Amino acid sequence: MYHAIGHGCTAPGYVVGEPELRSQLEHLKSQNYVGEGFGQLESRLRTRKPLPPRFVVLTVDDGETSSLLAADMLEEFGLNATFFVTRDRARSASGYLGETDIRELRRRGFSLGTHGTTHRGLSFLSETLCIAELRDSKHWLEDVLGEAVPYMSFPGGYVNRRTFERAKELGYRLVGTSQERINSPARLRLHGQVNRVAVRRDFSLADFRRIVEGERGFYLWRRIRFTALTVPKLILQDQFL
C-alpha cells in the first residue's frame, strides 16, 4: 500500500521517494513477481485458479496527484494496481486527482476504488454516517467511471466487524485493510478483506523484500508495532459502537 510518491499532502512518513519506488518495482520485475490490483485479483478468485507463485497486490491510497507518477512507473515495469480515491478531496482539494484524472487511470487499465467521502475513520462514526460514507462515495465514483465500483479501502485503516459488514451489504466485493500480515491464498475470497502493508519512506529495499517474501521476523515486528499503536485506538473505538 502506497500513499504518495516524491511529494504529497499526506504524512511525510508515507511519502516514498521516486528512486525508492523505482528500486522496489525493479525488484518485483527482476524476481518475476506478478503485480496486480484488486480487479485482477477478483478475476483470479472467480476462476478459482491457483495464484502465481510470486504474486503481489499493489494499491495506492488517498488519490494524491503523485498517483499519476506511480501509474507511469507501474506501466513501465508491466505492473498493475488499484487506486483508492476520496470523494471530497477529488472534488475540490488541491493536490488530489480530479475526475478527469480518475477516468484516465481507468482508461489505462488500472482499477479504482473508494476511500470514503471525507476520509474519516468509519469505525468512529454513527451507523448512519458510516453507511453514508460507504454508499455516497461508491455512487459518486460509479457516476465518474460509468461502471460498478466493487472495491474500497478503509480510511486510516479503521475497520471493525460492523463497518466490514456494511461494506459487504453495499456491494463491495473486496476491501483493503491496514492489517500488516501476509494474505493466505486459502483464505482470500470474494466479499473478503485484503491485508496490506503501508510502504513507508524509511523502508529500505531489504525491508521491501521482506514484505513481499513474507519474512516472519518482519511481520512479527510489524504486528508488535501495530498492536502497540492500535490498542488505544480500539479502546476509543469501542466507545462509538
Closest CA to 82 of 29, 132, 140, 42: 42
Closest CA to 59 of 135, 2, 19, 110: 2
Check if the beta carbon of residue 117 is closer than 8 Å to that of residue 140: yes
The DSSP symbol for 240 reads T
pLDDT (0 to 100) of residue 235: 53
- Rounded to whole angstroms, the Cα distance separating 7 from 9 reads 7
The most distant pair of C-alpha atoms in the chain lies apart, rounded to whole Å, by 48
pLDDT (0 to 100) of residue 156: 87
The ranges assigned to domains in the chain are 4-238
Domain 4-238, what fold?
Answer: TIM Barrel (3.20.20)
Strand extents, DSSP E, 23-87: 34-36, 55-57, 59-60, 82-85
Q: Residue with C-alpha cell 460509479?
A: 142
pTM: 0.92
Check if the beta carbon of residue 61 is closer than 8 Å to that of residue 156: no
- Rounded to whole angstroms, the Cα distance separating 94 from 127 reads 30
pLDDT (tens place) for every residue of the chain, 241 residues total: 999 999 888 889 999 999 999 999 999 999 999 999 999 999 999 999 889 999 999 999 999 999 999 999 999 999 999 999 999 999 999 999 999 999 999 999 999 999 999 999 999 999 999 999 999 999 999 999 999 999 999 998 888 999 999 999 999 999 999 988 899 988 899 999 999 999 999 999 999 999 999 998 888 887 787 677 665 555 555 544 4
3-state secondary structure of 112: strand
Check if the beta carbon of residue 149 is closer than 8 Å to that of residue 104: no
Query: Kind of pairing, strands 82-85 and 111-114?
Result: parallel
